[in-house]
Amino acid sequence: MKQTRRREVIRSGTTVEQMVRAIADMIVTGEMLPGAKLDEVSLAVRFDVSRTPVREALRELGAMGLVAREPNRSAVVTNVTEAYLHSMFEAMAELEAICARLSAERMTVDERRALELEHRGSMRLVHAGAEEEYSAHNTEFHTRLYRGAHNDHVFEMVMQTRARLAPFRRAQFRLPGRLAKSYEEHGRIVTAIMRADATAAGLAAYSHVEIVSDASAVFATPGE
């Protein structure tokens, strides 16, 4: 019976997603250091799955730049330097600024109201210090910005870049006071969009990602 349930979970992709998130968080927070080997058998035992979803999780982590693997060798944790992390966030800031500007111009009335209501509702998560829940809200908030731009190509690019930065963007919420600051930064973006002020929306979004970049830098490896 246990084996049947496991196959169902793997088939749905849930187990792979959970492993990717768990391993990525361990890498970003330093529980797994650069150069550490990621043995498939050990990981399979740890997560109570077969080696097949482990391989898929390692492939996804490789696409995110957190894991490297050479033929016939174990996967190893890569060295994500401050410089490389900064370069990714620099690109992300530009993309999010584009999305915010276009959202200010193109969002429908209903989309604007939904964004504002979701933002206001997240205040309870800030007061509760609910890091995991706020992280999920943060993902949804930014997705609304991307969709609000109504540009499929930009949406594709920003989603790909976000996927690589996701572990670092989650980790930032472990820092003291970060939830409240993030809420304030979101508020400036929402206010600009509600006023249809594309310039202000773009600047607010760019500044927000810059701040996230600075906050996330503590989780990168110092060096060139």
What pLDDT is recorded for position 2? 36
How do the pLDDT tens digits run along the chain, 224 residues long?
333 333 333 333 448 888 898 898 888 888 888 889 998 888 888 888 888 889 999 998 988 889 998 777 789 998 888 888 899 999 999 999 999 999 999 999 999 999 999 999 999 999 999 999 999 999 999 999 999 999 999 999 999 999 889 888 888 998 899 999 999 999 999 999 999 999 999 999 999 999 999 988 887 766 54
What pLDDT is recorded for position 7? 36
What pLDDT is recorded for position 8? 36
What pLDDT is recorded for position 221? 67
What pLDDT is recorded for position 164? 87
What pLDDT is recorded for position 222? 65
Whole-number Å distance between alpha carbons of 169 and 34 = 19
Can you give the pTM of this predicted structure?
Answer: 0.80
What pLDDT is recorded for position 4? 36
The secondary structure of the chain, three-state, reads CHHHHHHHHHHHCHHHHHHHHHHHHHHHCCCCCCCCEECHHHHHHHHCCCHHHHHHHHHHHHHCCCEECCCCCCEEECCCEHHHHHHHHHHHHHHHHHHHHHHHHHCCHHHHHHHHHHHHHCHHHHHHCCHHHHHHHHHHHHHHHHHHCCCHHHHHHHHHHHHHHHHHHHHHHHCCCHHHHHHHHHHHHHHHHHCCCHHHHHHHHHHHHHHHHHHHHHHCECCC
Confirm if 202 and 101 have CB atoms less than 8 A apart.
yes
What pLDDT is recorded for position 82? 85
